[in-house]
Amino acid sequence: MVGPAPTVAATRVAVRRMLHGIRKDALVLVACSGGADSLALAAATAFVAPRMGLRAGLITIDHGLQDGSDRRAAAVAAWGESVDLRPALVVSVDVSGRPGGPEAAAREARYDAILETARACQANSVLLGHTRDDQAETVLLALARGAGPRGMAAMPDRRDVEGVALLRPLLDMSRDETRKACAAMGLEPWEDPHNLDPSYARSRVRGSALPALVDALGPGVVSNLARTARLLAQDAEALDVLAAEELERSKLEEGLSVAMLEALLPALRARALHSWALSLGCSPAALSHRHVTALEALVTSWHGQGAVHLPGGIRAARVAGVLRVVTE
Ligand SMILES: Nc1ncnc2c1ncn2[C@@H]1O[C@H](COP(=O)(O)OP(=O)(O)OP(=O)(O)O)[C@@H](O)[C@H]1O
Q: What would the pLDDT profile of 235-249 be if each residue is shown by its tens digit? A: 999 999 999 999 999
Domain finish residue from 190, 217, 244: 217
209 carries a ligand binding annotation:
no
**Quick check: is 226 in a domain?**
no
Average pLDDT over residues 251-260: 96
Confidence category of residue 26, pLDDT binned at 50, 70, 90: confident
Distance 60 CA to ligand 1 centre (A): 9
Give yes or no: residues 172 and 293 share one domain: no
Query: Domain for residue 233, yes or no?
Result: no
Q: Are 68 and 98 in contact (CB under 8 A)?
A: no
In tens, the pLDDT along 162-189 reads: 999 999 999 999 999 999 999 999 999 9
CATH number of the domain to which 37 belongs: 3.40.50.620
33 annotated to bind ligand: yes
Per DSSP bridges, beta strands 55-62 and 27-31 are parallel
Ligand 1 centroid from CA 128, angstroms: 7
Report how far ligand 1's centroid is from the alpha carbon of 287 (Å): 25
Residue 227 domain flag: no
Residues 195 and 52 in one domain: yes
**Ligand 1, CB within 6 Å, residue ranges:** 31-33, 35-38, 59-61, 110, 128-130, 134, 192, 195
Q: Is residue 225 part of a domain?
A: no
pLDDT, average across residues 108-136: 96
Res. 302: pLDDT tops 80:
no
Residue nearest to atom 8 of ligand 1 (CA): 33
Distance 290 CA to ligand 1 centre (A): 30
Q: Does residue 319 share a domain with residue 271?
A: yes
Q: What is the DSSP string of 81-149?
A: HHTT-SSEEEEE---TT-SS-HHHHHHHHHHHHHHHHHHHTTEEEEE----HHHHHHHHHHHHHTT-HH
Same domain, 155 and 289: no
* 40 within 8 A of 68, measured Cβ to Cβ: no
Per-residue pLDDT at 1: 65
Is the pLDDT at 328 greater than 70? The verdict is no
- Best probe residue, ligand 1, of 28, 37, 90 (max atoms within 8 Å of C-beta): 37
Give the pLDDT score at 148. Answer: 84
Is 37 annotated to bind a ligand? Reply is yes
Sequence length of the chain is: 328
* Ligand 1 centroid, distance to 39 Cα (angstroms): 9
Give yes or no: residues 208 and 59 share one domain.
Answer: yes
Domain that holds residue 321: 253-325
Q: End of a domain among 217, 241, 274?
A: 217
* pLDDT of res. 196: 83
Cα 284 to middle of ligand 1, angstroms: 22
* Residues 188 and 51 placed together within one structural domain of the fold: yes
Report helix angle 175-184 to 36-51, nearest 10.
60
Statement to judge: residues 87 and 11 lie in one domain:
yes
Ligand 1: residue of 33, 41, 206 to mutate (most ligand atoms within 8 A of CB) is 33
Name the pLDDT band for 144 (thresholds 50, 70, 90).
very high
| Residue with CA at minimum distance from ligand 1 atom 22 | 35
Question: Higher pLDDT residue, 277 or 96?
Answer: 277
Residue having the nearest C-alpha atom to atom 29 of ligand 1: 129
pLDDT of residue 92 exceeding 70: yes
Binding residue per annotation — 235? no
**How many structural domains is the chain composed of?**
2
| Mean pLDDT estimate for the chain | 94
Q: Has residue 65 got a pLDDT over 80? A: yes
191 in the same domain as 314:
no
Query: Residue 303: is its pLDDT beyond 80?
Result: no
Q: Using 50, 70 and 90 to split pLDDT, how confident is the model at 298?
A: very high
Query: ∠77-80-84 over CA atoms, to 5°?
Result: 140
Is the domain of 213 the same as that of 257?
A: no
Residues 206, 269 share a domain:
no
Query: Could you tell me if 121 and 23 lie in one domain?
Result: yes
Q: 301 labelled as ligand-binding?
A: no
- Average pLDDT of the residues in 20-44: 95
Does 302 map to a domain?
A: yes
pLDDT of 48 strictly over 70: yes
Express each pLDDT in 183-240 by its tens digit: 999 999 998 888 888 988 999 999 999 999 999 999 999 999 999 999 999 999 999 9
139 and 30 co-located in one domain: yes
Residue % of the chain over a pLDDT of 70: 99
